[in-house]
Amino acid sequence: MAELKNLERDLDRFNTRLLVAALFVLLCFGLLGWRMVVLQVVRHDELALQAEANRIAVLPVVPNRGLIVDRNGVVLATNYSAYTLEITPSRVQGEMDAVIDSLAEVVPIEQRDRRRFKRLQDESKRFESLPIRTKLTDEEVARFTAQRFRFPGVDVRARLFRSYPAGEVGSHLIGYIGRINAAEKKAMEDWDDEVLANYRGTEVIGKLGLEQRYEQELHGTTGFEEVETSAGGRAVRRLKTHPATPGNTLVLSIDIKLQALVEQLFGDRRGALVAIDPRNGEVLAFVSKPSFDPNLFVDGIDVENWRALNESIDKPLLNRALRGTYPPGSTFKPFMAMAALNSGKRGPGTIVHDGGSFHFGGHEFRSHGDHGLGPVDMRRSIVLSSNVYYYSLANEMGVDLMHEQLLPFGFGRKTDIDLDGEVTGLLPSTAWKKRAYRKPEQQKWYAGETISLGIGQGYNNFTMLQLASATATLVAGGQRFEPRLVREIRNVVTQQATPVAGQALPPLALKPEHVALIMNAMHGVTQEGTSTRIFAGAPYKTGGKTGTAQAVGVKANEKYNASRLSEFQRDHSLYNAFAPLESPTVALAVIVENAGFGATAAAPIARRVFDYLLLGQWPSEEDMQATREGRSVAPTGTPRRAEDVPMSELGLPLLAGALPPGVQTTALAAPPAAAAAPARATP
């Protein structure tokens, strides 16, 4: 009986457990059913959308970057496609160095490639694809493809590369592009969401020049592709494509052939030249020497080339036309004369005796050559470049009146040209000195400091862009324009061209008779003044002013002797000019650093620019060589027709088929002329 009772108890326990288990199983199935209802009914739409998103990858399609062409259709910046070998660090199995060593057995990888990859790796995130080799040949692509299974995280990709066919010519104005670095990525976070979204997939950005200033015009509109992917993330098929829209084309006002000519005339010397059409503000030439090859930066410049550029004593990366500031020397005198006329401090017929020196406060301010010019009026003071006339004028006007009269011409402030990084230069005033110095004795303006300002020395420091722009304003009778390198922006889809240059600013109130007086005096410089020999035989009329500006000061009891100074301590050679005399179409400013008198180096370059623009002439080789060496006056030899000089001779091929529809070649309407006559603070 006891045994039967134990069996009954065990059976009861078993049945209880069975019931509990059945209820538990039923509960589980109920939960599963409830969950299925939630997933299949309640959240159906949401989960279906997620599943579709997992199945379909939306990939950005980076647009072709816009072209940059000169006014005649010469392509200065374009794109080409090439294969790159790229590594995604997060997907690499094993040590990176070992992987690269193994890759080098398949595809040649040089030390500079490794250094560049290391730098990019430091600047980028681990999941970004980074190039280890660019511009692979078809054979190299085939070799890697056959071995690809050995290298997880390594792929060959087709990418667009920027190309600058002109090389060093115009590099400072065109600029270059490069990979977006960490600082730029952080700055981009402040962009509008719409603009930032347009940069999905973009890895390069404009770094300098027009490439930087017109970045968003050149970038284009990013497209996208919807690609069906497998569970492993591999693309199965393309479902939908929205093509990218290429960037717009920049049509420049620059004549790149003229640009190349000027750069050749400079040779190995340092300096800058800016030529502006005073009728609309278009920049015809924008030269900074020495220059650099922007193609070096496209793939990421290597250490050797960067060190050579960055450590060079000639500073080839410095845009001298935009950021180089210099004392204007005697090129400042026509503006001082105009300031005197505007303020009523002096009239055209006021006579000042030039005895060779000017005495003030116990100091002697000497004239050029230590000999006097005798009695001089305003015209003669410009033609013969009288220092004494302008010493006394500066003393009569005072620094603040000079500042008030000359600031509207653009001295000491930005011209707002369409390039980033422009400097203001310095047009001094008593208020400026109080801001610039801390000690009370330094903040005080001393009357003796005003004297040298009259001849473009002292605190005066301006860019060639400012001097050219001021000259353009003067010869245009006070009409002002913001200088522009881009003539128009052409939409590649609609072919609509949007003009950029030609927006007039409020004019200066200059009296026509005063403008005529100054222009006539500057014409006299080329006929009976310091640039007479340079413009001998010219079949056109021009006006200019030579200038020689000190690079280092000379003591009062010493005379300037270039042979005793190192090259970088010698005077700068300057010239500003306009042409034709009757109806100016070009205003120009040029400086050749440490080259001596204005008539020696700067004016001869300007004469050749004139001949190109007004006569369509290209200098003979012997004349170009003499100009590069600073020993030319009027042109020698037999010039060629500029149109007969092949682009290939200048390294400027016109790339067939590179221009988008609607971009037409445009010649210079009423060919602007640029003449130059040497200038110097003590001519």
| Residues classed as catalytic | 330
Secondary structure of residue 454 in the 3-state scheme: helix
Measure the CA–CA gap between 131 and 117, rounded to whole angstroms: 7
- Listed in sequence order, the DSSP H helices in 124-224 are 138-147, 171-174, 182-188, 193-197, 209-213, 215-219
Q: Give me 318's structure tokens.
A: 């410095």
Q: CB–CB of 651/166 below 8 Å?
A: yes
Measure the CA–CA gap between 356 and 40, rounded to whole angstroms: 102
Degrees (nearest 5) of the Cα angle 404, 406, 412? Answer: 100
CA torsion sign, 516 to 574 to 652 to 210?
negative
- Listed in sequence order, the DSSP H helices in 232-294 are 256-266
Q: CB–CB of 254/70 below 8 Å?
A: yes
Q: Residue 251 contacts by C-beta under 8 Å, 6 or more apart in sequence?
A: 69, 70, 71, 486, 487, 488, 489, 490, 497, 663, 666
Q: CB–CB of 297/276 below 8 Å?
A: no
Secondary structure of residue 490 in the 3-state scheme: strand
Measure the CA–CA gap between 340 and 244, rounded to whole angstroms: 59
**Per-residue H/E/C for 411-438:** CCCCCCCCCCCCCCCECCCHHHHHHHCC
- The residues facing 288 across adjacent strands are 272
Task: Give the HSE-up count for residue 76: Cα atoms under 13 Å, Cβ half-sphere.
Answer: 32
